A and B are shown apart, each in its own frame.
Chain A
Amino acid sequence: MSKLILTVDDSASMRMLLKTSLSQQGFRIEGATDGVHGLERMHEVNPDLLITDINMPRMDGFELIEAVRALPQFRGTPILVLSTEFSDDKKARARSAGATGWITKPFEATKLGAAVRRVCP
């Protein structure tokens, strides 16, 4: 069974872009529209990888990661953060929230695939 990825982004186009790109590389994709929804979906789909945007209404990406990491069953689930820029500060912030890695938007299909495979074979 191919790996299941949950993508959380309030932008439908970004979710579709992720889905298009990753499903072509053999991943199964589920989506959620913000942090709160993402947390709900985590329980429903129990993904192999979580990819989340940072700036989202209701619950932002960092809050989502912290909430996910607080749950024992997701302690080892890899999480990638999406953002348009990653300063060292932001990377540190992502890591301390519990992110495994990050992807810079806009992403190349290959780089995205490589980043994903780096945490989710």
Chain B
Amino acid sequence: MSDELDEIQAIFFEECAEGLVTAEQGLSAMAGGDVSADVIAGVFRAVHSIKGGAGAFGHAALTAFSHRFENVLDEVRAGRIAPTPGVTAVMLTAFDILSDHVEASKGTAPAPADAAALAALDEVLATGGAGTPAAPVAAATPVIEAADDFGFTPVTAVIDDLDPFGFEPIGVMLEDLDPQPAEAPSEVAGWTVRFAPSRSALANGGEPLLVVREVEHLGGSVVDIDCSALPPLRDLDPEESYMVWTLSAPATLPQADIAECFDFVSPDSIIEITRAEPPADTDLELAPSSAAAAPDPGHAAPEPTSATTAFSPNRAPEPEVLALAVVPKSDTPRAAEPAAQTIRVDLTKLDMLLNLVGELVIRNSILTDRLSPKEQQRVELPELARLTREIQDNVMSLRAQPIKQAFSRVPRMLRDLSVETGKLVLLETTGESTEVDKGVIEKIGDPLTHMIRNAVDHGIESPDDRAAVGKPREGTIRLSAEQKSARIFVRVSDDGRGIDRARVRAKAVEKGIIPADAVLSNEEIDQLICAPGFSTAESISNISGRGVGMDVVRSNVEALGGRVEISSVPGQGTTFTMILPLTLAILDGMVVRLAGQRYVLPLATVVESVKPEPGQVRPMSRTTEVIELRGNYLPVRRLGDLFGFGGKGRAPEDSLVIIVESEAGHVGLMVDTIEDRREVVIKSLDQNLHPIRGLGGATILGDGSIALILDVEALVGSSASAPQHSLKGLAA
């Protein structure tokens, strides 16, 4: 039971995370001027759902805060408060606190100080909603009262119910409880209820008889049924109500409980709940039972008069019992901790599953290789292959998540950084829906944080400095993600001052990272930023000048099998690009052969293949060749040369040139032959080796042998840039 609830709670927290992302996107859109009804409704719904779930799981602080936040959103949604920049700013702050409350509910952070945010929300309600009657009053009410107004009292009882012990016994109790009118104390007169359902009580699938039964369940009984209004059968309107019941109910029942039975049928039905003697007696009557329950408040009380005792934990009308029930739960986030762990366990299992599925895919291709097409049909191999692929797709999709989860912390961070540094920063985000393996998302959080901090701290200038050079006072940070073949490119660009290469160089010399007489290209100087222990901050700032920073980015990204590229234009800004593998992914690839080995080219990069005529490929210099293609000359690279396999390359006319697309434009890659086109499972090389530039991983072919997967971008790029990068794998 408890496990089940923990699991549901874990799902709730995932929903919170999604809700927060939605809310933040909506609020950001609002801040950017998009105040369309859809956007506002989206934010409202997200906060509303968080509130609903928070209540169900007994997170009182989260419930209370989201409730107050929702009040404002509701007014904005209804058009009673205009979403001015000021109001939106208050809501953004409230959003940050809401995120903190969610963390606190998980037990991963202390409860945030929310007084200021609440005051700001209330201020908005009070001033912005001045023309509306009820709203400001509700908002100005302290939390507790507001909670009462909206029927939050049940929260406490729910907490009890959600306790591992709660659900079952209580559910069973009500079911099994026989109506025991005989046991109702007879000293005090019982309740009398007169019930004349209206026509509308029968509409909408209503059934008054069930209400009567519910009263019976509570210990009541039918005293009289008045059928005098019943017409002759032929005149009977089946949708009309003709009966009037008179019921009796035990004196010990609170009136509210009886009234609640009639909740659904109350509009314009006649419901009169009366008792012979003044109701004051009831309270006196209830007192002993509440006292009996008090010594052992968390559990059903021992055994006095059975009817009363059995009900008391459900009813929970006694304040002292309520209070005791709340306290232990509200400061014990214990339910949250196992919930978080469940996800971790799941991932391990997913990994195992994914590996097994990978094996299955490989086994499938082995069978395909070994069996003739006829045999394949006979053993229904195609069907097996289809199933395998479906399993694989499903398992993969379990792990793939939109990268916006990793991006979701950024706006908050920027707001904080903005306050800390006094710099003004706008954020532009693209490609958030790019799907990446969950493992990658989890691991790029830190590098991303460092990159953003670095951009604000070192890139973006102060508003005055920017104004002085004719830039807008607000700096812009562009955050983007895109998938290109087997790689994910995550870029952080700023429009700041760019890398001060002279200073970087001087610092690197001073720190002994490079010799004073080193001859370095601009790109190489830029790379120094990622050197361990390098920091250019003039003074150690709060933010990124701690000597850890970009070197952490580099090592984290490389540990993921990726790399970091830096480009910078003085005065115009800097772009950091994390190029990450889509680990655990499937790649649509072209298998090519070269010098006896097989390689896989991501099909997405392949434009066409050309069988060169003699003379179509010609040397341009001692080391470069071009191919003439429909009047254009494209550079040609020999894979053998790029990989340093040496000179035994074939003549161009005995080879194939595969035209690939890269950031550098179209480039021809010369290989021996094309062997196959197939989907391959990408196996990471980086787990056991340093990343090798030019390779995106490896795959296992049907015969069990390994083919290396080419990273076209790096391969084509690497020949143009510094060659030492290609020797990364060397130094182990």
In the complex, the answer to whether A14 meets B174 with C-beta atoms within 8 Å is no
**A40 on interface, CB distance cutoff 8 Å:** no
| Max chain A C-beta neighbours (<10 A), residue from B11, B51, B213, B261 | B11
Report B215 CB to chain A, min CB distance, Å: 10
Rank and list the top 7 A-B pairs by shortest CB-CB distance, nearest first.
Answer: A101-B264, A13-B12, A78-B205, A106-B55, A106-B56, A85-B150, A13-B11
**B459 on interface, CB distance cutoff 8 Å:** no
Option from B48, B171, B267 in Cβ contact (under 8 Å) with A21: B171
Can you list 16 contacts pairing A with B, beta carbon distance less than 8 Å? Answer: A14-B49, A16-B8, A20-B5, A24-B167, A25-B171, A56-B45, A78-B204, A86-B151, A100-B206, A106-B56, A106-B155, A108-B170, A109-B171, A118-B211, A118-B264, A121-B210
**A70 on interface, CB distance cutoff 8 Å:** no
Q: A17-B8, A118-B214 given. 5 additional CB < 8 A pairs? A: A14-B56, A20-B5, A20-B167, A21-B171, A25-B175
**B283 on interface, CB distance cutoff 8 Å:** no
**B314 on interface, CB distance cutoff 8 Å:** yes
**A95 on interface, CB distance cutoff 8 Å:** yes
Q: In the complex, A83→B217 CA distance in Å?
A: 26
Option from A55, A101, A113 in Cβ contact (under 8 Å) with B44: A55
In the complex, the answer to whether A24 meets B171 with C-beta atoms within 8 Å is yes
**B279 on interface, CB distance cutoff 8 Å:** no
Closest to A74 in B: B205
**B157 on interface, CB distance cutoff 8 Å:** yes
**B500 on interface, CB distance cutoff 8 Å:** no
Residues of B within 8 A of A (CB): 4-5, 7-9, 11-12, 15, 42, 44-45, 48-49, 51-53, 55-56, 58, 150-151, 154-155, 157-158, 161, 166-168, 170-171, 173-175, 200, 203-207, 210-211, 213-214, 217, 260-261, 263-264, 267, 314
| Max chain A C-beta neighbours (<10 A), residue from B48, B49, B154 | B49
**Count of residues in A whose CB is under 8 Å from the partner chain:** 48
- Beyond A108-B314, A109-B167, A114-B214, whether A13 also contacts B9 by CB under 8 A is yes
- Please indicate the chain B residues that have their CB under 8 angstroms from the CB of A2 in the complex: none
In the complex, the answer to whether A91 meets B4 with C-beta atoms within 8 Å is no
A97-120 contacts to B, CB under 8 A, are: 98-102, 104-111, 113-115, 117-120
- Please indicate the chain A residues that have their CB under 8 angstroms from the CB of B175 in the complex: 25-26, 113
- Beyond A13-B11, A85-B151, whether A108 also contacts B49 by CB under 8 A is no
Q: In the complex, A17→B314 CA distance in Å?
A: 18
Q: In the complex, A21→B168 CA distance in Å?
A: 9
Q: In the complex, A79→B571 CA distance in Å?
A: 64
**A12 on interface, CB distance cutoff 8 Å:** yes
- Beyond A13-B56, A16-B11, A101-B264, whether A109 also contacts B204 by CB under 8 A is no
- Please indicate the chain A residues that have their CB under 8 angstroms from the CB of B166 in the complex: 109
Q: In the complex, A108→B153 CA distance in Å?
A: 11
- Beyond A16-B11, A76-B205, whether A104 also contacts B154 by CB under 8 A is yes
Closest to B175 in A: A25
Q: In the complex, A76→B203 CA distance in Å?
A: 8
In the complex, the answer to whether A118 meets B210 with C-beta atoms within 8 Å is yes
- Beyond A107-B154, A110-B171, A118-B264, whether A78 also contacts B52 by CB under 8 A is no
- Please indicate the chain A residues that have their CB under 8 angstroms from the CB of B214 in the complex: 114, 117-118
Q: In the complex, A16→B158 CA distance in Å?
A: 15
In the complex, the answer to whether B211 meets A84 with C-beta atoms within 8 Å is no
Q: In the complex, A121→B157 CA distance in Å?
A: 24
- Please indicate the chain B residues that have their CB under 8 angstroms from the CB of A69 in the complex: 204
In the complex, the answer to whether B263 meets A101 with C-beta atoms within 8 Å is yes
- Please indicate the chain A residues that have their CB under 8 angstroms from the CB of B174 in the complex: 110, 113-114
In the complex, the answer to whether A119 meets B55 with C-beta atoms within 8 Å is no
- Please indicate the chain B residues that have their CB under 8 angstroms from the CB of A102 in the complex: 263-264
- Please indicate the chain A residues that have their CB under 8 angstroms from the CB of B49 in the complex: 10-11, 14, 55
Option from A12, A14, A21, A79 in Cβ contact (under 8 Å) with B167: A21
- Beyond A84-B48, A108-B157, whether A13 also contacts B264 by CB under 8 A is no
In the complex, the answer to whether A117 meets B210 with C-beta atoms within 8 Å is yes
- Please indicate the chain B residues that have their CB under 8 angstroms from the CB of A55 in the complex: 44-45, 48-49
- Please indicate the chain A residues that have their CB under 8 angstroms from the CB of B53 in the complex: 11, 13-14
**A7 on interface, CB distance cutoff 8 Å:** no
**A45 on interface, CB distance cutoff 8 Å:** no
Option from B11, B51, B167, B205 in Cβ contact (under 8 Å) with A84: B51
- Please indicate the chain A residues that have their CB under 8 angstroms from the CB of B11 in the complex: 12-13, 16
- Please indicate the chain B residues that have their CB under 8 angstroms from the CB of A11 in the complex: 12, 15, 49, 52-53
Q: In the complex, A112→B449 CA distance in Å?
A: 45
- Please indicate the chain B residues that have their CB under 8 angstroms from the CB of A25 in the complex: 171, 175
Task: Encode A1-45 as 1/0 by CB contact (under 8 A) with B.
Answer: 000000000111110110011001110000000000000000000
Closest to B8 in A: A16
In the complex, the answer to whether B52 meets A106 with C-beta atoms within 8 Å is yes
- Please indicate the chain A residues that have their CB under 8 angstroms from the CB of B9 in the complex: 13
Closest to B167 in A: A109
- Please indicate the chain B residues that have their CB under 8 angstroms from the CB of A114 in the complex: 174, 214, 217, 260-261
Report B312 CB to chain A, min CB distance, Å: 12
Q: In the complex, A91→B161 CA distance in Å?
A: 26
- Please indicate the chain B residues that have their CB under 8 angstroms from the CB of A21 in the complex: 167, 171
In the complex, the answer to whether B210 meets A119 with C-beta atoms within 8 Å is yes
- Beyond A21-B167, A86-B151, whether A95 also contacts B200 by CB under 8 A is yes
- Please indicate the chain A residues that have their CB under 8 angstroms from the CB of B8 in the complex: 13, 16-17, 20
- Please indicate the chain B residues that have their CB under 8 angstroms from the CB of A120 in the complex: 210
In the complex, the answer to whether A119 meets B158 with C-beta atoms within 8 Å is no
Q: In the complex, A108→B207 CA distance in Å?
A: 22
Report B19 CB to chain A, min CB distance, Å: 9
- Please indicate the chain B residues that have their CB under 8 angstroms from the CB of A121 in the complex: 207, 210, 213
